[in-house]
């Protein structure tokens, strides 16, 4: 009887969160599906266009270009945060002194305000007055690139900032994973004469596989959501060369107020991330034992 | 909680409610996109409240990037402010969507000549008038007098030609340490509308077809685009936009990195603030192009307006507020330096001209407004032109590729015309 009452109270306290979820998350998600079949500028009456937005999207060169940017970005960001995050975690897990200090240090960029972070990076990357280019000139490079304004570099610059900023977060996930590995396994391998590299390659890495898998999925989702660094550093430029899907959705929704098109893009992004996750789940069987 | 206690609370609440009703206030809501402007307007708003007892104006301002999403959401909810700022770039879409009250009945009672006609015309659609101009703005040529004098170049005047402009720009590009990287460029521009369109219109060119439904840059427009982009690529007298990456575009001129710059008159405040006393500067109209005559050259100017919500329950009061904010009672100090009051009698005064401030020749702006003016605003303008957080796309993005030497003008024009017409055909 008493426990029943407790359960009822639990529901009561869950109501605010559930209402929030329904009204601010699930509601808009469902509405966006309907909106994606309309032409709607927010202030007027939506006009039904069937699959029009999806067709426009697939026939637009701009869309394919941005999809390509999104893919290239993911191919830099996901391996970037995975390798750097894992590397930092493994180094910190070797029992070096001041490990908590370094752990905090590497995590710091992740919790620093995006505005502060991107202002600093903007200055580092600035063509004429930037720290990076002045350093390169000092080294003897006479004509260093315009990192944020060159279509060959802008996306790479964004991915670099994101990896630097977020690797610390993935490091924490890996650290948690590493602490779940029984140290006696590594000690046994060492006793059997394995080198440090062999211990990492044949003991740590396979046992860390479930964490790695989780990290890759999360990194994939995060890479598809990239917005803040783009907004603050390049606004998608030059000539859309660093625009990825999430930023393109923002442009269409909140600059052009083309909500139908933006909703169609958002659903496509959702499907693509879903597919990539599915592929990962399939492949997982090949490389993860857990 | 006891019953007596409850009754106490309830009666207390009733007393409070009664007290509120006694000083019943009519609330007029007002929203604009310029927090600095609103700061200046506070005294005018207080005056309005004093003149209309019982009326309280609830004013709110936020930057444009927040203003439009917010205003759109309010419109969708049927909850627009009674009075809100409307731009020349978006008025067509807002009018077509039925979100602007027709003010023609009110406007009919006014002396139309008291206001700049160009600013009034932007709000007219058919027989209706869907907003009322508060101020208008125009791109001008900013020039660094100190640099001109140092280079021994005469200041720009009304007869300046493009050749003379180019000669001046060459003389003003200085590389004193000889590293091939000028410390001061003659000019600064990228693909932005306020940087580019003045040259097109001053050459008698047009970006749009006559019915304004298609992008169709004519020969004079292409000539202007070639001239401006060549300044960076052929003559080396303007920095490539990528060179200036990391510096706010509106700071290049006031920081002395370029001796000339074409952008909106609304930048006057920023130039004053950033340049300070470091050099003397003035403004001029963009020189007339070789393909234009005095008859075909056009000024480029547009209005910032105030509109009334179509479902406002107090449209008479809203109109009175608009008249108060833009009309007779205002003084030049109620407007930012580069914004010309739409009410002529306020603009055409020594107090607005501020001869003791820089630039000492603000009548250049008034002169542009007196000419035949034009714009290229269409529905979905932000998309094909590349504006705000989409500046890297559309026509702006393509022109930047030319400025940066990565595309020829022909390639860029072909690309932005095709893209723009795709956008416009969906409107």
Tracing tokens 């003659």 back to the chain, one arrives at B186
Residue B10 has pLDDT above 80, yes or no: no
Please name which of B222, B185, B239 lies closest in space to residue B405, comparing C-alpha atoms: B239
Written in H, E and C, the secondary structure of A44-98 is CCCEECCCHHHHHHHHCHHHHHHHHHHHHHHHHHHHHHHHHHHHHHHHHCCCCCC
A240, B44, B256, B263, B385 from B141: Cα distances, Å: 29, 32, 15, 7, 21
Same domain, B245 and B289: yes
Written in H, E and C, the secondary structure of B12-32 is HHHHHHHHHHHCCCEEEEEEE
Q: Which two tokens stand for residue B30?
A: 């007002």
For B67-73, what is the mean pLDDT? 95
Q: pLDDT tens for residues B156-199?
A: 998 999 999 999 999 999 998 887 789 999 999 999 999 999 99
Same domain, B270 and B237: yes
Q: What's the rounded Cα separation, in Å, for the pair A254 and B65? A: 8
| pLDDT confidence tier of residue B341, bands split at 50, 70 and 90 | very high
Among candidates A122, A236, A257 on the partner chain, residue whose Cβ is nearest the Cβ of B392: A236
Q: Which residues contact A204 (CB under 8 A, 6 or more apart)?
A: A90, A178, A181, A186
Residue A175 has pLDDT above 60, yes or no: yes
Output b/e per residue, B120-157; b: 16+ Cβ within 10 A: bebbebeeebbbbbbbbbbbbbbbbbebbeebebeebe
Q: Which CATH architecture has domain A51-287?
A: Orthogonal Bundle (1.10)
Mutate which: A40, A237, A249, A254, vs B, most B CBs within 10 A: A237
Chain B closest CA to A27's CA: distance in Å? 16
Give the distance from CA B251 to its chain's centroid. Answer: 17
| CB pairs < 8 Å spanning A and B | 112
Task: For chain B, give the percent of residues with pLDDT over 70.
Answer: 94
Please name which of B164, B171, B162, B181 lies closest in space to residue B144, comparing C-alpha atoms: B171
Domain boundaries, chain A: 51-287
Surface of B (94-113) touching A: CB under 8 A: 94, 96-99
Q: Considering only residues B9 and B246, tell me which one the structure prediction assigns the higher pLDDT.
A: B246
For A26-44, what is the mean pLDDT? 94
Task: For chain A, give the percent of residues with pLDDT over 70.
Answer: 98
Average pLDDT, chain B: 92
Q: What's the rounded Cα separation, in Å, for the pair A215 and A174? A: 8
Same domain, B277 and B394: yes
Residue B17 has pLDDT above 70, yes or no: no
Same domain, B127 and B46: yes
Same domain, B344 and B271: no
Q: Which sign does the torsion angle of CA B228, B230, B235, B236 carry?
A: positive
For B323-349, what is the mean pLDDT? 92
A30, A44, A235, B245 from A148: Cα distances, Å: 37, 37, 10, 7
CB contact under 8 A, A42 and B72: yes
| pLDDT confidence tier of residue A100, bands split at 50, 70 and 90 | confident
Closest chain A residue to B96 measured between Cα atoms? Answer: A44
By the CB < 8 Å criterion, does A243 face chain B? yes
Residue B18 has pLDDT above 70, yes or no: no
Residue B396 has pLDDT above 60, yes or no: yes
By the CB < 8 Å criterion, does A260 face chain B? no
For B78-106, what is the mean pLDDT? 95
Please name which of B423, B259, B43, B287 lies closest in space to residue A256, comparing C-alpha atoms: B423
By the CB < 8 Å criterion, does B366 face chain A? no
By the CB < 8 Å criterion, does B35 face chain A? no
Q: pLDDT tens for residues B265-318?
A: 999 999 999 999 999 999 999 999 999 999 999 999 999 999 999 999 999 999
Mutate which: A130, A149, A262, A264, vs B, most B CBs within 10 A: A149
Chain A closest CA to B238's CA: distance in Å? 14
Residue A1 has pLDDT above 60, yes or no: no
Q: What's the rounded Cα separation, in Å, for the pair A157 and A121? A: 9
Residue B1 has pLDDT above 50, yes or no: no
| pLDDT confidence tier of residue A259, bands split at 50, 70 and 90 | very high
Using an 8 Å Cβ cutoff, are B30 and B58 in contact?
yes
Chain A closest CA to B121's CA: distance in Å? 23
Q: Considering only residues B405 and A286, tell me which one the structure prediction assigns the higher pLDDT.
A: B405
Using an 8 Å Cβ cutoff, are B134 and B83 in contact?
no
Closest chain B residue to A227 measured between Cα atoms? Answer: B389
Q: Is residue B369 part of a domain?
A: no
CB contact under 8 A, A256 and B382: yes
SS3 A145: coil
Residue B48 has pLDDT above 60, yes or no: yes
By the CB < 8 Å criterion, does A228 face chain B? no
Task: For chain B, give the percent of residues with pLDDT over 90.
Answer: 85
A-chain CB neighbours of B388 within 8 Å are: 255
Q: Is residue B213 part of a domain?
A: yes
Using an 8 Å Cβ cutoff, are B140 and B365 in contact?
yes
Closest chain B residue to A153 measured between Cα atoms? Answer: B242
Q: Report ipTM for this prediction.
A: 0.87
| pLDDT confidence tier of residue B3, bands split at 50, 70 and 90 | very low
A-chain CB neighbours of B422 within 8 Å are: 60
Same domain, B270 and B349: no
Average pLDDT, chain A: 92
Same domain, B178 and B260: yes
Same domain, B270 and B168: yes
Please name which of A47, A16, A77, A49 lies closest in space to residue A219, comparing C-alpha atoms: A77
| pLDDT confidence tier of residue A9, bands split at 50, 70 and 90 | confident
Residue A98 has pLDDT above 60, yes or no: yes
Residue A4 has pLDDT above 80, yes or no: no
| Residue A44 dihedral angles phi and psi, to the nearest 5° | -105, -165
Q: Is residue B364 part of a domain?
A: no
Residue B374 has pLDDT above 80, yes or no: yes
Given B353, B371, B392, the domain boundary residue is B353
A-chain CB neighbours of B245 within 8 Å are: 125-127, 146-149
* Residue A88 pLDDT: 94
User: Among the listed ranges A34-38, A142-146, B138-142, which one has the minimum average pLDDT value?
Assistant: A142-146
Q: pLDDT tens for residues A180-219?
A: 999 899 899 999 999 989 999 999 999 999 999 999 999 9
Task: Specify the DSSP class assigned to residue B11.
Answer: H
Residue B20 has pLDDT above 50, yes or no: no
Residue B85 has pLDDT above 90, yes or no: yes
CB contact under 8 A, B243 and A127: yes
Q: Is residue B332 part of a domain?
A: yes
Q: Which residues contact A52 (CB under 8 A, 6 or more apart)?
A: A37, A39, A260
Residue B8 has pLDDT above 70, yes or no: no
A-chain CB neighbours of B99 within 8 Å are: 43-44
Closest chain B residue to A235 measured between Cα atoms? Answer: B389
Output b/e per residue, A99-136; b: 16+ Cβ within 10 A: eeeebeebbeebeeeeeebbeebbebbbbbebebbeee
* Residue B24 pLDDT: 55
Task: For chain A, give the percent of residues with pLDDT over 90.
Answer: 78
Residue B87's domain spans which residues? Answer: 26-137+302-353
| pLDDT confidence tier of residue B112, bands split at 50, 70 and 90 | confident
* Residue B179 pLDDT: 79
Q: What's the rounded Cα separation, in Å, for the pair B102 and A210? A: 64
* Residue B19 pLDDT: 45
Q: What is the CATH number of the domain that holds B115?
A: 3.40.190.10
Same domain, B72 and B148: no
Same domain, B273 and B318: no
SS3 B229: helix
* Residue A288 pLDDT: 62
Closest chain A residue to B398 measured between Cα atoms? Answer: A239
Chain A closest CA to B340's CA: distance in Å? 27
Same domain, B417 and B385: yes
Surface of B (285-344) touching A: CB under 8 A: none
| pLDDT confidence tier of residue A72, bands split at 50, 70 and 90 | very high
Same domain, B70 and B120: yes
User: Among the listed ranges A4-18, B76-90, B147-161, which one has the minimum average pLDDT value?
Assistant: A4-18
For B391-398, what is the mean pLDDT? 94
Q: What's the rounded Cα separation, in Å, for the pair A125 and A117? A: 12
């Amino acid at each position: 009887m008493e426990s029943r009452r407790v359960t009822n109270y639990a529901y009561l306290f869950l109501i605010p969160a559930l209402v929030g979820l329904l009204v601010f998350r699930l509601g808009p998600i469902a509405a966006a599906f309907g909106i994606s079949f309309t032409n709607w500028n927010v202030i007027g009456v939506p006009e039904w266009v069937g699959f029009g937005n999806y067709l426009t999207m697939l026939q637009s060169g701009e869309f394919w270009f941005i999809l390509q940017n999104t893919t290239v970005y993911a191919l830099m960001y996901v391996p970037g945060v995975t390798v750097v995050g894992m590397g930092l975690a493994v180094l910190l897990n070797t029992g070096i002194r001041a490990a908590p200090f370094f752990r905090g240090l590497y995590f710091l960029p992740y919790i620093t305000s995006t505005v502060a972070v991107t202002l600093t990076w903007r200055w580092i990357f600035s063509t004429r007055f930037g720290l990076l280019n002045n350093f390169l000139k000092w080294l003897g490079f006479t004509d260093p690139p315009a990192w944020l304004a060159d279509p060959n570099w802008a996306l790479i610059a964004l991915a670099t900032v994101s990896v630097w900023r977020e690797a610390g977060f993935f490091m924490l996930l890996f650290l948690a994973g590493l602490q779940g590995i029984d140290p006696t396994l590594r000690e046994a391998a060492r006793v059997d004469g394995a080198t440090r590299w062999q211990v990492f390659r044949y003991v740590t890495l396979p046992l860390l596989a479930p964490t790695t898998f989780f990290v890759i999925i999360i990194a994939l989702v995060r890479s598809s959501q990239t917005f803040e660094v783009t907004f603050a550093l390049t606004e998608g430029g030059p000539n859309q060369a660093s625009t990825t899907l999430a930023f393109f959705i923002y442009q269409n929704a909140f600059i052009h107020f083309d909500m139908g098109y933006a909703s169609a893009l958002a659903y496509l992004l959702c499907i693509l991330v879903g597919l990539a996750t599915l592929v990962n789940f399939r492949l997982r069987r090949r490389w993860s034992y857990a | 909680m006891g019953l007596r206690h409850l009754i106490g609370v309830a009666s207390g609440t009733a007393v409070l409610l009664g007290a509120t009703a006694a000083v019943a206030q009519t609330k007029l809501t007002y929203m604009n996109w310029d927090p600095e402007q609103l700061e200046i307007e506070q005294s005018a708003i207080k005056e309005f409240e004093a003149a209309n007892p019982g009326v309280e104006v609830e004013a709110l301002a936020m930057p444009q990037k927040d203003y439009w999403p917010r205003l759109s959401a309010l419109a969708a909810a049927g909850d627009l402010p009674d009075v809100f700022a409307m731009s020349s770039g978006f008025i067509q879409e807002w009018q077509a969507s039925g979100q602007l009250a027709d003010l023609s009945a009110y406007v009919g009672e006014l002396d139309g000549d008291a206001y700049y006609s160009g600013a009034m015309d932007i709000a007219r659609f058919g027989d209706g008038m869907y907003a009322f101009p508060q101020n208008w703005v125009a791109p001008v040529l900013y020039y660094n007098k100190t640099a001109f004098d140092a280079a021994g170049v005469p200041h720009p005047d009304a007869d300046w030609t493009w050749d003379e402009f180019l000669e001046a720009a060459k003389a003003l590009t200085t590389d004193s340490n000889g590293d091939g990287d000028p410390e001061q460029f003659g000019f600064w521009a990228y693909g932005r509308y306020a940087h580019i369109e003045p040259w097109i219109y001053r050459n008698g060119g047009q970006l749009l077809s006559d019915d304004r439904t298609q992008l169709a840059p004519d020969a004079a427009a292409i000539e202007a685009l070639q001239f401006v982009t060549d300044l960076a690529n052929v003559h080396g007298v303007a920095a490539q936009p990528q060179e200036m990456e990391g510096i706010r575009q509106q700071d290049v001129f006031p920081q002395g990195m370029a001796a000339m710059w074409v952008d909106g008159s609304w930048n006057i405040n920023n130039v004053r603030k950033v340049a300070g006393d470091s050099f003397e500067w003035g403004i001029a109209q963009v020189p007339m192009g070789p393909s234009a005559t005095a008859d075909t050259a056009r000024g480029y100017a547009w209005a910032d307006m105030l509109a009334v919500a179509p479902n406002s329950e107090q449209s008479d009061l809203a109109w009175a507020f608009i008249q108060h904010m833009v009309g007779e009672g205002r003084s030049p100090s109620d407007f930012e330096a580069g914004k010309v009051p739409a009410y002529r009698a306020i603009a055409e005064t020594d107090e607005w001209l501020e001869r003791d401030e820089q630039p000492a020749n603000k009548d250049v702006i008034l002169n542009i407004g007196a000419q035949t003016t034009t714009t290229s605003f269409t529905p979905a303008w932000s998309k094909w032109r590349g504006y705000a957080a989409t500046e890297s796309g559309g026509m702006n993005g393509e022109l930047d590729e030319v400025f940066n030497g990565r595309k020829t003008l022909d390639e860029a024009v072909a690309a932005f015309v095709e893209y723009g017409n795709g956008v416009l055909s969906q409107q």
